[in-house]
Amino acid sequence: FLRSISHLRSRTNALGAVARVRSALSYGVHHFFKERGFFQVHTPIITTSDCEGAGEMFTVTALDTAELQKKDPFRQDFFGQRAGLTVSGQLQAEIYALSHGRVYSFGPTFRAENSNTSRHLAEFWMVEPEMAFCDLECNAAVAEELIRELVAIVLENCADDVDLFNRFVSKGLAGKLEQVRDNAFVRMTYTEAVAALEKSGKEFSFPVSWGIDLQAEHERFLCEDLAGVPVIVTNYPKSIKPFYMRLDDNSTTVAAMDILVPGIGEMIGGSQREERLPILTQQMEEAGLDPDEYSWYLDLRRFGSVPHSGFGLGFERLVQFVTGMANIRDVIPFPRTPGSAQC
Protein backbone atom coordinates (compact mmCIF):
# COMPACT_ATOMS: atom_id res chain seq x y z
CA PHE A 1 0.00 0.00 0.00
CA LEU A 2 2.72 2.50 0.95
CA ARG A 3 4.32 2.18 -2.49
CA SER A 4 1.10 3.58 -3.98
CA ILE A 5 1.52 6.82 -1.96
CA SER A 6 5.16 7.72 -2.54
CA HIS A 7 4.47 11.31 -1.52
CA LEU A 8 3.41 10.27 2.01
CA ARG A 9 5.28 7.09 2.86
CA SER A 10 8.43 8.89 4.04
CA ARG A 11 6.43 9.91 7.13
CA THR A 12 6.39 6.34 8.46
CA ASN A 13 8.95 5.26 11.05
CA ALA A 14 10.56 2.56 8.93
CA LEU A 15 10.93 4.58 5.74
CA GLY A 16 12.07 7.61 7.69
CA ALA A 17 14.82 5.44 9.15
CA VAL A 18 15.69 4.17 5.67
CA ALA A 19 16.09 7.77 4.49
CA ARG A 20 18.49 8.57 7.34
CA VAL A 21 20.57 5.45 6.72
CA ARG A 22 20.65 6.16 2.99
CA SER A 23 21.92 9.68 3.68
CA ALA A 24 24.64 8.37 6.01
CA LEU A 25 25.75 5.84 3.40
CA SER A 26 25.86 8.51 0.69
CA TYR A 27 28.09 10.66 2.88
CA GLY A 28 30.21 7.60 3.65
CA VAL A 29 30.83 6.88 -0.03
CA HIS A 30 32.27 10.33 -0.67
CA HIS A 31 34.30 10.25 2.57
CA PHE A 32 35.78 6.83 1.75
CA PHE A 33 37.07 7.89 -1.65
CA LYS A 34 38.23 11.35 -0.59
CA GLU A 35 40.34 9.83 2.19
CA ARG A 36 42.04 7.57 -0.37
CA GLY A 37 42.91 10.19 -2.95
CA PHE A 38 40.11 9.57 -5.45
CA PHE A 39 38.27 12.42 -7.11
CA GLN A 40 34.70 12.38 -8.35
CA VAL A 41 33.82 12.46 -12.04
CA HIS A 42 30.32 13.45 -13.17
CA THR A 43 29.62 11.00 -15.99
CA PRO A 44 26.81 11.70 -18.49
CA ILE A 45 23.21 10.64 -17.96
CA ILE A 46 22.56 10.69 -21.73
CA THR A 47 25.01 8.52 -23.65
CA THR A 48 25.47 6.70 -26.94
CA SER A 49 27.43 3.84 -25.35
CA ASP A 50 25.86 0.67 -23.97
CA CYS A 51 28.43 -0.38 -21.40
CA GLU A 52 26.84 -3.75 -20.70
CA GLY A 53 26.11 -4.53 -24.36
CA ALA A 54 22.79 -6.06 -23.36
CA GLY A 55 20.51 -3.66 -25.23
CA GLU A 56 18.60 -2.65 -22.09
CA MET A 57 18.93 1.12 -22.58
CA PHE A 58 16.03 3.55 -22.45
CA THR A 59 16.07 5.48 -25.74
CA VAL A 60 16.19 9.29 -25.59
CA THR A 61 14.60 10.93 -28.63
CA ALA A 62 13.05 14.22 -29.73
CA LEU A 63 11.33 12.55 -32.70
CA ASP A 64 7.61 11.89 -32.89
CA THR A 65 6.10 8.50 -33.72
CA ALA A 66 5.83 9.18 -37.45
CA GLU A 67 9.45 10.32 -37.70
CA LEU A 68 10.62 7.19 -35.86
CA GLN A 69 9.09 5.04 -38.62
CA LYS A 70 11.43 6.50 -41.25
CA LYS A 71 14.60 4.79 -42.39
CA ASP A 72 17.56 5.42 -40.08
CA PRO A 73 15.55 7.96 -38.04
CA PHE A 74 18.16 8.79 -35.44
CA ARG A 75 20.36 10.59 -37.97
CA GLN A 76 17.67 13.30 -37.88
CA ASP A 77 17.35 13.19 -34.10
CA PHE A 78 18.61 15.72 -31.56
CA PHE A 79 22.06 14.12 -31.19
CA GLY A 80 22.36 12.88 -34.77
CA GLN A 81 22.54 9.27 -33.60
CA ARG A 82 20.79 6.87 -31.23
CA ALA A 83 21.15 7.96 -27.61
CA GLY A 84 19.86 6.58 -24.35
CA LEU A 85 19.92 6.86 -20.58
CA THR A 86 23.14 5.50 -19.12
CA VAL A 87 23.36 1.96 -17.82
CA SER A 88 26.76 2.69 -16.25
CA GLY A 89 29.31 5.47 -15.98
CA GLN A 90 32.18 3.01 -16.23
CA LEU A 91 33.41 3.66 -19.76
CA GLN A 92 33.52 7.42 -19.22
CA ALA A 93 35.14 7.01 -15.79
CA GLU A 94 37.91 4.98 -17.44
CA ILE A 95 38.82 8.07 -19.47
CA TYR A 96 39.67 9.96 -16.30
CA ALA A 97 41.26 6.99 -14.52
CA LEU A 98 43.76 6.69 -17.37
CA SER A 99 44.70 10.34 -17.03
CA HIS A 100 44.31 10.97 -13.29
CA GLY A 101 44.79 7.57 -11.65
CA ARG A 102 41.94 7.03 -9.18
CA VAL A 103 38.42 8.33 -9.78
CA TYR A 104 34.82 7.45 -8.98
CA SER A 105 31.34 8.29 -10.15
CA PHE A 106 28.17 8.16 -8.05
CA GLY A 107 24.89 8.76 -9.79
CA PRO A 108 21.68 7.36 -11.26
CA THR A 109 21.68 4.60 -13.85
CA PHE A 110 18.84 3.09 -15.83
CA ARG A 111 17.88 -0.35 -17.16
CA ALA A 112 14.90 -0.97 -19.44
CA GLU A 113 14.67 -4.48 -18.04
CA ASN A 114 11.19 -5.88 -17.42
CA SER A 115 12.08 -7.43 -14.05
CA ASN A 116 9.39 -7.35 -11.38
CA THR A 117 11.47 -8.68 -8.48
CA SER A 118 12.43 -7.54 -4.99
CA ARG A 119 16.01 -6.94 -6.25
CA HIS A 120 15.51 -4.85 -9.42
CA LEU A 121 14.70 -1.24 -10.27
CA ALA A 122 14.54 0.57 -13.61
CA GLU A 123 16.31 3.58 -12.05
CA PHE A 124 18.92 3.11 -9.35
CA TRP A 125 22.17 4.62 -8.10
CA MET A 126 25.63 3.20 -8.70
CA VAL A 127 28.99 3.82 -7.05
CA GLU A 128 31.67 3.19 -9.69
CA PRO A 129 35.38 3.64 -8.96
CA GLU A 130 38.02 3.18 -11.65
CA MET A 131 41.68 2.73 -10.71
CA ALA A 132 44.81 2.81 -12.85
CA PHE A 133 47.65 0.42 -11.97
CA CYS A 134 45.18 -1.85 -10.19
CA ASP A 135 44.69 -5.56 -10.92
CA LEU A 136 41.82 -7.86 -9.95
CA GLU A 137 43.14 -8.53 -6.44
CA CYS A 138 43.58 -4.80 -5.79
CA ASN A 139 40.06 -4.21 -7.11
CA ALA A 140 38.52 -6.84 -4.81
CA ALA A 141 40.41 -5.45 -1.81
CA VAL A 142 39.09 -1.91 -2.38
CA ALA A 143 35.54 -3.21 -2.85
CA GLU A 144 35.66 -5.23 0.38
CA GLU A 145 37.13 -2.31 2.30
CA LEU A 146 34.37 -0.03 0.98
CA ILE A 147 31.55 -2.31 2.12
CA ARG A 148 33.04 -2.90 5.55
CA GLU A 149 33.66 0.79 6.15
CA LEU A 150 30.16 1.79 5.04
CA VAL A 151 28.63 -0.81 7.36
CA ALA A 152 30.79 0.58 10.19
CA ILE A 153 29.57 4.12 9.45
CA VAL A 154 25.94 3.03 9.74
CA LEU A 155 26.56 1.13 12.98
CA GLU A 156 28.31 4.15 14.47
CA ASN A 157 26.07 6.95 13.23
CA CYS A 158 22.63 5.34 12.86
CA ALA A 159 22.45 3.19 15.99
CA ASP A 160 18.81 4.05 16.76
CA ASP A 161 17.73 3.28 13.21
CA VAL A 162 19.64 -0.02 13.19
CA ASP A 163 17.92 -0.89 16.47
CA LEU A 164 14.52 -0.19 14.89
CA PHE A 165 15.31 -2.45 11.93
CA ASN A 166 16.75 -5.09 14.25
CA ARG A 167 13.55 -5.20 16.34
CA PHE A 168 10.82 -4.76 13.75
CA VAL A 169 12.18 -5.53 10.28
CA SER A 170 14.98 -8.12 10.38
CA LYS A 171 15.77 -9.95 13.62
CA GLY A 172 19.50 -10.32 14.16
CA LEU A 173 20.39 -7.54 11.71
CA ALA A 174 22.75 -5.75 14.10
CA GLY A 175 24.79 -8.90 14.69
CA LYS A 176 24.95 -9.60 10.96
CA LEU A 177 26.28 -6.10 10.28
CA GLU A 178 28.86 -6.37 13.06
CA GLN A 179 30.05 -9.66 11.58
CA VAL A 180 30.51 -8.03 8.17
CA ARG A 181 32.36 -5.10 9.72
CA ASP A 182 34.72 -7.31 11.73
CA ASN A 183 35.50 -10.28 9.47
CA ALA A 184 37.30 -10.74 6.16
CA PHE A 185 35.24 -11.88 3.20
CA VAL A 186 35.67 -15.39 1.78
CA ARG A 187 37.27 -15.65 -1.67
CA MET A 188 36.72 -18.35 -4.26
CA THR A 189 36.90 -18.68 -8.03
CA TYR A 190 33.80 -19.23 -10.14
CA THR A 191 35.00 -22.78 -10.82
CA GLU A 192 35.31 -23.45 -7.07
CA ALA A 193 31.86 -21.92 -6.49
CA VAL A 194 30.22 -24.16 -9.09
CA ALA A 195 31.97 -27.21 -7.62
CA ALA A 196 30.71 -26.28 -4.14
CA LEU A 197 27.16 -25.86 -5.43
CA GLU A 198 27.26 -29.22 -7.21
CA LYS A 199 28.75 -30.93 -4.16
CA SER A 200 26.11 -29.47 -1.82
CA GLY A 201 23.44 -31.87 -3.03
CA LYS A 202 20.87 -29.09 -2.84
CA GLU A 203 18.21 -29.08 -5.54
CA PHE A 204 18.13 -25.63 -7.12
CA SER A 205 15.38 -24.23 -9.34
CA PHE A 206 18.12 -23.41 -11.86
CA PRO A 207 20.41 -26.44 -12.38
CA VAL A 208 24.11 -25.84 -11.77
CA SER A 209 26.82 -26.50 -14.33
CA TRP A 210 30.05 -24.78 -15.33
CA GLY A 211 29.29 -21.90 -17.69
CA ILE A 212 25.94 -20.80 -16.27
CA ASP A 213 25.34 -17.30 -14.96
CA LEU A 214 24.85 -17.74 -11.22
CA GLN A 215 21.29 -17.01 -10.12
CA ALA A 216 20.21 -15.35 -6.87
CA GLU A 217 19.52 -18.74 -5.26
CA HIS A 218 23.08 -19.87 -6.05
CA GLU A 219 24.61 -16.62 -4.82
CA ARG A 220 22.67 -16.68 -1.56
CA PHE A 221 23.54 -20.32 -0.90
CA LEU A 222 27.24 -19.53 -1.27
CA CYS A 223 27.24 -16.59 1.15
CA GLU A 224 24.49 -17.69 3.56
CA ASP A 225 24.73 -21.48 3.83
CA LEU A 226 28.28 -22.24 2.73
CA ALA A 227 30.37 -19.31 3.99
CA GLY A 228 28.11 -17.45 6.41
CA VAL A 229 29.79 -14.18 5.39
CA PRO A 230 30.09 -12.16 2.17
CA VAL A 231 31.86 -14.03 -0.62
CA ILE A 232 34.02 -12.68 -3.44
CA VAL A 233 33.73 -14.87 -6.54
CA THR A 234 36.37 -14.33 -9.24
CA ASN A 235 37.35 -15.45 -12.75
CA TYR A 236 34.00 -16.01 -14.44
CA PRO A 237 33.54 -17.62 -17.88
CA LYS A 238 34.20 -15.17 -20.68
CA SER A 239 30.91 -16.14 -22.35
CA ILE A 240 28.71 -14.64 -19.60
CA LYS A 241 30.58 -11.38 -19.01
CA PRO A 242 30.80 -8.06 -20.94
CA PHE A 243 33.39 -7.39 -23.63
CA TYR A 244 35.61 -5.03 -21.63
CA MET A 245 36.79 -7.56 -19.01
CA ARG A 246 40.40 -8.72 -19.21
CA LEU A 247 40.85 -12.15 -20.75
CA ASP A 248 42.68 -14.61 -18.49
CA ASP A 249 45.67 -16.57 -19.75
CA ASN A 250 43.47 -19.64 -20.29
CA SER A 251 41.34 -17.66 -22.82
CA THR A 252 38.24 -19.18 -21.20
CA THR A 253 37.68 -17.00 -18.15
CA VAL A 254 38.01 -13.28 -17.48
CA ALA A 255 39.39 -11.27 -14.56
CA ALA A 256 35.94 -10.53 -13.15
CA MET A 257 34.70 -10.47 -9.57
CA ASP A 258 31.32 -10.30 -7.85
CA ILE A 259 30.73 -9.72 -4.15
CA LEU A 260 27.80 -11.70 -2.78
CA VAL A 261 26.20 -10.76 0.54
CA PRO A 262 23.68 -12.62 2.73
CA GLY A 263 20.05 -11.76 2.12
CA ILE A 264 20.77 -10.04 -1.20
CA GLY A 265 23.13 -11.98 -3.44
CA GLU A 266 25.25 -9.87 -5.78
CA MET A 267 25.96 -6.37 -4.46
CA ILE A 268 29.12 -5.52 -6.40
CA GLY A 269 30.29 -6.51 -9.87
CA GLY A 270 33.67 -5.55 -11.23
CA SER A 271 36.71 -6.56 -13.21
CA GLN A 272 40.17 -5.77 -14.39
CA ARG A 273 39.61 -4.02 -17.71
CA GLU A 274 41.10 -5.32 -20.94
CA GLU A 275 43.97 -2.94 -21.76
CA ARG A 276 45.31 -4.85 -24.80
CA LEU A 277 43.91 -3.27 -27.96
CA PRO A 278 43.84 -6.35 -30.27
CA ILE A 279 42.11 -8.51 -27.66
CA LEU A 280 39.61 -5.79 -26.74
CA THR A 281 38.73 -5.26 -30.42
CA GLN A 282 38.26 -8.99 -30.92
CA GLN A 283 36.02 -9.26 -27.85
CA MET A 284 33.87 -6.39 -29.11
CA GLU A 285 33.40 -8.12 -32.45
CA GLU A 286 32.57 -11.43 -30.76
CA ALA A 287 29.94 -9.62 -28.69
CA GLY A 288 28.33 -8.29 -31.87
CA LEU A 289 29.42 -4.70 -31.27
CA ASP A 290 30.75 -2.36 -33.95
CA PRO A 291 34.26 -1.22 -32.92
CA ASP A 292 33.75 1.98 -34.94
CA GLU A 293 30.99 3.03 -32.53
CA TYR A 294 33.44 2.63 -29.64
CA SER A 295 36.44 4.19 -31.38
CA TRP A 296 36.89 6.67 -28.54
CA TYR A 297 37.08 3.78 -26.05
CA LEU A 298 39.63 1.97 -28.19
CA ASP A 299 41.65 5.21 -28.38
CA LEU A 300 42.25 4.87 -24.64
CA ARG A 301 44.35 1.83 -25.56
CA ARG A 302 45.81 3.16 -28.81
CA PHE A 303 47.33 6.20 -27.14
CA GLY A 304 48.75 4.55 -24.05
CA SER A 305 47.10 2.39 -21.44
CA VAL A 306 47.99 0.62 -18.21
CA PRO A 307 46.42 -2.24 -16.26
CA HIS A 308 43.32 -0.82 -14.60
CA SER A 309 40.26 -2.04 -12.76
CA GLY A 310 36.93 -0.92 -11.40
CA PHE A 311 33.60 -2.05 -10.06
CA GLY A 312 30.00 -1.03 -9.64
CA LEU A 313 28.23 -1.05 -6.28
CA GLY A 314 24.46 -1.11 -6.47
CA PHE A 315 23.66 1.56 -3.88
CA GLU A 316 20.07 0.44 -3.27
CA ARG A 317 21.20 -3.13 -2.67
CA LEU A 318 23.64 -1.79 -0.09
CA VAL A 319 20.84 0.17 1.62
CA GLN A 320 18.65 -2.93 1.49
CA PHE A 321 21.42 -5.00 3.07
CA VAL A 322 22.11 -2.67 6.01
CA THR A 323 18.43 -2.03 6.75
CA GLY A 324 17.14 -5.57 6.26
CA MET A 325 14.26 -4.32 4.11
CA ALA A 326 12.79 -7.17 2.07
CA ASN A 327 12.06 -5.20 -1.11
CA ILE A 328 14.43 -2.88 -2.93
CA ARG A 329 11.50 -0.60 -3.83
CA ASP A 330 11.38 0.45 -0.18
CA VAL A 331 14.95 1.77 0.03
CA ILE A 332 14.76 4.43 -2.71
CA PRO A 333 12.53 7.49 -2.23
CA PHE A 334 10.69 7.23 -5.55
CA PRO A 335 10.99 3.73 -7.08
CA ARG A 336 10.85 3.37 -10.86
CA THR A 337 9.72 -0.09 -11.94
CA PRO A 338 7.80 -1.59 -14.89
CA GLY A 339 4.37 0.03 -14.86
CA SER A 340 5.15 2.43 -12.02
CA ALA A 341 6.71 5.92 -11.93
CA GLN A 342 4.91 7.97 -9.28
CA CYS A 343 5.79 11.55 -8.37
- Per residue in 121-160, pLDDT (tens digit) is 999 999 999 999 999 999 999 999 999 999 999 999 999 9
Residue 140's φ and ψ, nearest 5 degrees, are: -65, -35
Query: What integer pLDDT is reported at residue 175 of this predicted model?
Result: 96
Q: How many CB atoms lie within 10 A of CB 271?
A: 25
When pLDDT is averaged across residues 46-71 and rounded to a whole number, the result is 85
Q: Is it the case that residue 205 has pLDDT exceeding 90?
A: yes
User: Above 70 in pLDDT, residue 52?
Assistant: no
Strand pairing partners for 258? Answer: 233, 269
pLDDT level of residue 51 (50, 70, 90 thresholds): low
In this predicted structure, the answer to whether residue 222 has a pLDDT above a threshold of 90 is yes
pLDDT recorded at residue 7: 83
Confidence of residue 241 (pLDDT cuts 50, 70, 90): very high
pLDDT band at 98 (very low <50, low <70, confident <90, very high): very high
Burial status of residue 224 (CB atoms within 10 A of its CB: 0-12, 13-18, 19 or more): middle
Looking at the DSSP assignment, which residues form a beta bridge with residue 47? 84
Positive/negative CA dihedral, 159, 162, 166, 169:
positive
Mean pLDDT of 189-200: 98
Q: Which domains does the chain have, with CATH numbers?
A: 2-330 (3.30.930.10)
Query: By CB neighbour count within 10 A (0-12 exposed, 13-18 middle, 19+ buried), where does 203 fall?
Result: exposed
* pLDDT at 6 exceeding the cut of 90: no
pLDDT value at residue 54: 58
Question: Is the pLDDT score of 10 beyond 90?
Answer: no
* Longest CA pairwise span in the chain (Å): 60
Average per-residue pLDDT for the chain? 95
Find the helix or strand (DSSP H, E) in which 131 lies: strand 123-132
| Cα distance between residue 162 and residue 101, in whole Å | 36
Distance, in Å, from the CA atom of 341 to the CA atom of 195, rounded to the nearest integer, reads 42
Q: What percent of the chain has pLDDT over 70?
A: 98
Residue of 255, 264, 245, 240 lying closest to 313 (CA atoms): 264
**Residue 56 above 90 pLDDT?**
no
* Percent of the chain whose predicted confidence (pLDDT) is above 90: 87
Q: In what order do the strands lie in the sheet with 59-60?
A: 46-47, 83-85, 59-60
DSSP state of 182: H
Helices and strands (DSSP H and E) totals, the chain: 11, 11
pLDDT band per the 50, 70, 90 thresholds, residue 246? very high
